[in-house]
Structure 1
C-alpha cells in the first residue's frame, strides 16, 4: 500500500480524467470522495442528476458512472498506481457505487500497462453527431473492440443485416413513442443548452454539439434540438448503412450496469485510438419492452445496454465538464 496519502494534485488529476467520461445527455451524475488516511477514492451517484422520465430505474446513470470509473482506473495506471476496485461495497448505501483503493506498485503487482496505454484517448474521445463515411471497419479493429468489451465482462456484437435493421426499427419506434408522450422531451429540454447558455455551460449538451439535422440516411442520431430553432444549423445526409455495435451483459442490475459502463468506455477509448468516430444511443433501450427486442435474435439472451455507431468522420466538439472542485471532496 502507498506509504502516504496521495497529494491533492494527483487526486484532482485522477478525478478530472474520470469526469471526461460520457453520460446520458452529459448530465455527469457522479460525485467523488477521497479519504486520504485510507488511500480510498469513493464514487457516488448524484441523484439530483438522475432522469426520472427517460431513466426511471437509473440504468443509464449507472452506465455513465461506470464509464467514469473506467477512466479513473486508466488514469491511476498512467500515474503508476494500482487501483483495487470494488463495486457496490455497502449494501446499505445504494448511492455508493464503487470504492477504489489506490496503492504504489510492487514487483508482483505492477500498474496495469494495458490500461495506461489508453490514457491519451481520454482527452481525445468525443461523441460525434455528424455523418460518417460509407467505409467498412477493418476486421482487426472489430476484434479489438470485441476484446475490449470482453475484458470488462461484457459483450460487443456487430449485428448482421437483419439484426441491424431490427435495431433501426426500434429506434424509429422509440421516436414515434416520444411523439405520443407529452413528457418525453422533459429530460432533453432540461439537459440541452441553447444560445448564450451554451457558451457558459458546464454540463448538458450545448447546441454546438447537436450536429446537423438529418435530411436523409438511416443512421440512428438523436436530434437534441427537437422542434426548437438553432441558429446556423444546417441539414445533411447521413449513412444509409450505419455500422452499429450492441453492448450487452448477461445480467440486469446495478452491478451489471456498472460493468457495462466500464466496458463501454474501454471500447470507446480503443475506438478513439483506432481513429474511429463514435456516437451512442440508448433511445430504443429506454423502454424495457423495446430493449428486450434488441437482443441477438440467434441467442435471445443478454441485456443490451447501448447501441454504438462507429465509422470514419468528424469526431465532434468537446462537451463541457463541471469543475473538479464541484464533484470532489478530500478528507
Structure 2
C-alpha cells in the first residue's frame, strides 16, 4: 500500500524538481559526490564513487556527509510539495520512503525557501557581533535533530581551535596529491557546473586570519585579518561515527545551514581539522566528546558572495 501511494505522490516531475533542490547542498571542492535513484519503495541517495577525493577524503566520510545534506534538501522539497518522506540512513545510502501526506510545517517552508539562497561564504565577515539568542536557536535546532553544536567562545579555546585549523591546513598542503586535487577542482571557469571558480573562491587567505581558509586560488587577499568581534565559531557533530551516522550528520548539518541562512547569517565551513585524523582527535578531546566532530563552522554577517554552480538533475539521476 505504501509503495503504491508513493508511486502516485512522487511522479517524475516531482522527483526531478526535488533533485534540483537536493544538489544545492554543499560538498568539499563542490565535487557533488551524489547519485539519486528511484526504487520500488522510494528514493535512494548514494555516494558516487566516480567523484571521490582520495587525497582530501580518503575514507569517504565527507562524501557521505554531503550525500546526507543533499537528502535533507530532497526531503524538504518533497515536504513542501505535500508529498513528505520518512528518511532513514544505512551504511551506504539514505533511503526516503513515502510518509502520510500532510501540509508542510512553517519551519519546512522557511528552510526550503533558503535552499537556493544559502551558500558557503569564503570572504571576510563584517565586524558585527551575533546576538546570543540567535546562536541559541542554532544550538537548539541541531540538538532537536539529534546532533550537537559546541560554541567555542572567544579566548584561549578559540585560539587553540584556530591553531589546530592552521596546523591541519599546513599538513594537508604539504601533500602534493592534496595540492593537485585542490587545483583540479579550483582552476575552472565561473560558469563550470562543478568545482570552485574564481569568483566563488574568495580572496587568497591572509596569513593573519583567525581561521585559516582553504586556498582556492582566488585574488590577492584584501589586507584584513578578519578576526571579527566575538566571532561565532562552532564545532558540529552527531552521536556516532559509523558511515550511517555520517550520512545522518549531513542531514542535520544542512538543516543547520539553512536555519542560519534564514536567520540572516553567513556561514563559512572549515573541514581541514577534520580531514587530518590526529588533529580531529585533538579537537574531540578538547571538547570532551565521545564521537568525532564532523565540521568546524563560523557564523556571522557578510555580503553575499558568488554561488558555486551545480550539475543538472539529469547528470545525477540513475
**Normalising by structure 1, what TM-score?**
0.87
2:226 corresponds, among 239, 257, 263, to: 239
Residue pairs, 1:119-268, within 5 angstroms: 119-160=112-153, 161-193=155-187, 197-215=188-206, 216-225=208-217, 233=220, 235-241=222-228, 242-268=231-257
| 1:100 pairs with 2:96 | yes
The answer to whether the 8 Å contact 2:146/2:252 transfers is yes
What per-residue deviation string (whole Å, max 9, x for no partner) do you get for residues 159-199 of structure 1?
13322212111111113213432323132122113xxx414
What per-residue deviation string (whole Å, max 9, x for no partner) do you get for residues 193-242 of structure 1?
3xxx41441111111111112334313321111xxxx5x65533142254
Report the equivalent of 2:297: 308
C-alpha distance in 2, partners of 1:273/1:100? 25
Q: Would you say how many aligned residue pairs link Structure 1 and Structure 2? A: 310
C-alpha distance in 2, partners of 1:179/1:87? 33
Aligned residue for 2:314, secondary structure, equals: helix
The answer to whether the 8 Å contact 2:205/2:212 transfers is no
- Once the two structures are TM-superposed, the CA of residue 60 in structure 1 deviates from its matched residue by 0.4
1:115 corresponds, among 89, 108, 132, to: 108
- Once the two structures are TM-superposed, the CA of residue 4 in structure 1 deviates from its matched residue by 1.9
What per-residue deviation string (whole Å, max 9, x for no partner) do you get for residues 6-58 of structure 1?
222211111111110001111000010123xx351111110111111111111
C-alpha distance in 2, partners of 1:7/1:278? 34
- Once the two structures are TM-superposed, the CA of residue 103 in structure 1 deviates from its matched residue by 4.5
Structure 1 spans left out of the alignment, 5+ residues: none
Structure 2 spans left out of the alignment, 5+ residues: none
The answer to whether the 8 Å contact 1:62/1:258 transfers is yes
Deviates more, 1:17-26 or 1:160-169: 160-169
Q: 1:142 to 1:199 in 2, by over 3 A?
A: closer
Aligned residue for 2:234, secondary structure, equals: strand
C-alpha distance in 1, partners of 2:289/2:310? 38
Report the equivalent of 2:283: 294
- Once the two structures are TM-superposed, the CA of residue 152 in structure 1 deviates from its matched residue by 2.3
The answer to whether the 8 Å contact 1:82/1:105 transfers is yes
C-alpha distance in 2, partners of 1:282/1:25? 11
Tell me which protein shows more strand as a share of its residues: 1
Q: 1:238 to 1:262 in 2, by over 3 A?
A: farther
- Once the two structures are TM-superposed, the CA of residue 323 in structure 1 deviates from its matched residue by 0.8
C-alpha distance in 2, partners of 1:102/1:15? 16
C-alpha distance in 1, partners of 2:23/2:278? 31
The answer to whether the 8 Å contact 1:152/1:259 transfers is no
List structure 1 runs of 4+ shifted beyond 6 angstroms.
Answer: none
Aligned residue for 1:99, secondary structure, equals: strand
